[in-house]
Amino acid sequence: MSVASTTPRFKDNVHDALNDQRLQGALPHARNFIGRRADAAARLPEFDALRDSARAIKDHTLAHLDLYLEAYERKVVEAGGHVHYARDSDEAVAIILGVCKARDARVVTKGKSMVSEEIGLNAALEREGIVAVETDLGEYVIQLRGEAPSHIIAPAIHVTRDDIEADFRRLHRDLPPDRDLSRPEQLLGEARAILRDRFLSADVGLTGANFLVAETGTSIIVTNEGNGDLTQTLPKVHIVLASLEKITPTLNDVAQILRVLGRSATGQDMSVYTTLSTGPRRAGDPDGPEEYHVVLLDNGRSATLGGPFAEMLRCIRCGACMNHCPVYHAVGGHAYGWVYPGPMGAVLTPLLIGVAEGGQLPNASTFCGRCEAVCPMRIPLPKLMRRWREREFERRLSPPLARAGLRLWAFFAKRPALYRLAVEPTMRALGLIGRRRGRFAWLPLAGGWTRGRDFAAPQGATFQSRWRAKSGAVK
């Protein structure tokens, strides 16, 4: 059972988000990524060609995923690691709990992992009396607040500096209450000191993986803080939790994709730490974990391969799509109601939790196309959202009134003569009614529009009727 969603009440979430003044004040930060990405892309002449190269590598990999998985597993075992397979969230949680319990683990430090959100890992650990400590600063902040991430790269983008100070004061109770926390550096310093203790005392460190390399049996994380590294180097056990599609054939293939990942995400040519981990510590190593476990999660990926939504498996979780999305900018990530927000969330969510529960998201798009324009892996996000709409239409999942309205329009659109008969008098009448003000403050069935906007009145007779009158006959 994947973690629960509030996606069916998306419109209510939107309403709440739009009326949340604090959130609205924090949301503009997401726009900062736009200029940074553009600058980074402009500075590298080969950027667009690299996107095509990255796409080709992923397509090839997905078409041979079974074989690369076999190769990857062989290499991990050769290096002294363990590979576990989880069909769904419950299995993944059970495997991780098993590894933790076998070592009597009390504290698990975590690097940022969206897949761990997907399976609801933290709650499961807590239920078993194991303390899960998020160490990515943004994840730590939202863990203190009991919130989920609202962005896949910058999980606390919705939180203000004031919020963070208030939470630190509330929860870091052993520190002097009169300490100065007015500057961000002070907040960072406090988090660093507190988390440093956690790093050093953790029994198990769990990270995600940006790549799982078949050539060498290596897991790769891409971070800026160094928390992922401390998480996976200091404890005795390192668990890597990753979904199947992270498999990448070779290190040289990774180098291709890395060149578009950081630039697309934050505008960085390289993140500060790109770390390759292969198996546990070797004989003679003075540091490193004694055990290395990789938990591979399916949870819907294998069923997506080769199907109409397979292109979504190319996603490298850079966040560029949501950084450029007008819907995301308006309401932030929590409104989407599940783990993955923005355009990639709109396509992925119905895949992972079903279209009945997740179907609102692909509908809540204007198809402006900015997401597709910036996706480093050239995923045709609007097309895939439209495909979800087709599924919903076939299954009659769209709201009946909207469906009826569109069917009515299509009925007339297929019959030009009837169309003319219907629209001519209607537009003349509306034109007459609206003549005085030039616009309507309200129209039946268009409340969604007219609540906040006026609706222009038609000019009266239609173009085609005037054209016919002018030039005699329509061809």
Partner 1 sequence: MSARDEIFASIRRSLAVGPVDAPRRDAVAARLAQAPVGIVPRRGQGEAAERLATFRSEAERVQTTVAEVAAAAAVPAKIAGYLRENNLPATLRFGDDNRLADMPWGATALEIARGPSEGDDLNAVSAAFAAVAETGTLALVSGPDNPTTLNFLPDNHFVVLFAEDLVADMESVFAKLRLACGSGALPRTVNFITGPSRSADIEQTLLLGAHGPRRLHVMVVKGRS
Partner 2 sequence: MSESQAAKTQLRVGLFVTCLVDLFRPSVGFAAVKLLEDAGCKVVVPAQTCCGQPAFNSGDRADAQAIARRTIDAFAGCDYVVAPSGSCAGMLAKHYPELFADEPDMAIKAAAFSAKCYELTSFLVDKLGVTSVAARFSGVAAYHDSCSGLRELGVHDQPRKLLASVEGLRLVELDEADVCCGFGGAFAVKYGELSDAIVARKSDKIVATGADTLLAGDLGCLMNMAGKLQRTGKPVKARHVAEVLAGMTDAPAIGEPAEGEAK
Restricting to residues 273-332, name those near partner 2 by CB under 8 A: 326-327, 329-331
Out of 15, 87, 179, 282, point to the residue binding partner 2 (CB under 8 A).
Answer: 15
Q: Is 99 in the site for partner 1 (CB under 8 A)?
A: no
Which residues ranging from 405 to 464 are in contact with partner 2 (CB under 8 A)? 406-407, 409-410, 412-416, 419-420, 423, 427, 435-439, 441, 445-449, 451-459, 461-464
HSE-up (13 A, CA, CB side) for residue 263: 23
Q: What is the rounded CA–CA span in Å between residue 376 and residue 253?
A: 14
Which residues lie below 8 Å from residue 457, measured CB to CB, with a gap of 6+?
Answer: 430, 431, 433, 434, 435, 437, 438, 439, 440
Cα three-residue angle 312-318-324, rounded to 5 degrees: 90
Interface pick for partner 1 out of 117, 118, 190, 253 (rule CB under 8 A): 253
Q: Cα(152)–Cα(303) distance, rounded to whole angstroms?
A: 23
Choices 155-163, 350-358, 437-445, 447-455; region in contact with partner 1 by CB under 8 A: 155-163
Of 32, 9, 34, 24, residue with least CA distance to 321: 34
At position 50, the amino acid (one-letter code) is L
Rounded to whole angstroms, the Cα distance separating 265 from 222 reads 11
Indicate whether 290 belongs to the interface with partner 1 (CB under 8 A).
no
Q: Show the tokens assigned to 443.
A: 């129209």
Identity of the residue, 17 or 26, whose beta carbon is nearer to partner 1 in the bound complex: 26
Nearer to partner 1, 283 or 401 (CB): 283
Query: Order of strands, edge to edge, in the sheet holding 107-110?
Result: 82-86, 291-297, 237-243, 204-207, 107-110, 131-134
DSSP H or E stretch at residue 440: strand 439-440
Q: How far is the CB of 39 from partner 1 (least distance, A)?
A: 12
Please identify which residue in 176, 177, 284, 399 interacts with partner 1, judged by CB under 8 A. 284
Q: Which of residues 205-224 bind partner 1 (CB under 8 A)?
A: 214-216, 218, 224
Q: What is the DSSP letter of 29?
A: G
Identify which of residues 173 and 451 has a Cβ nearer to partner 2 in the complex.
451
Q: Looking at 10-18, 281-289, 404-412, 417-425, which segment touches partner 1 (CB under 8 A)?
A: 281-289
Chain positions 56 to 95 lying near partner 1, rule: CB under 8 A, are 57, 60, 63-71, 75, 78-79, 85-87, 91
Selection from partner 1, partner 2, none that 29 binds (CB < 5 to 8 A by kind) is partner 1
Distance of CA 355 to the CA centre of its chain: 17
* Phi, psi (deg, nearest 5) at residue 197: -60, -40
The residue (of 103 and 329) whose beta carbon lies closer to partner 2 is: 329
| Binding region for partner 1 (CB under 8 A) out of 1-9, 226-234, 346-354, 426-434 | 226-234
172 binds, among partner 1, partner 2, none (CB under 5 to 8 A by kind): none
Residues within window 296-355 making contact with partner 1, judged by CB under 8 A: 296, 298, 302-307
SS3 115: helix
The DSSP call for residue 177 is T
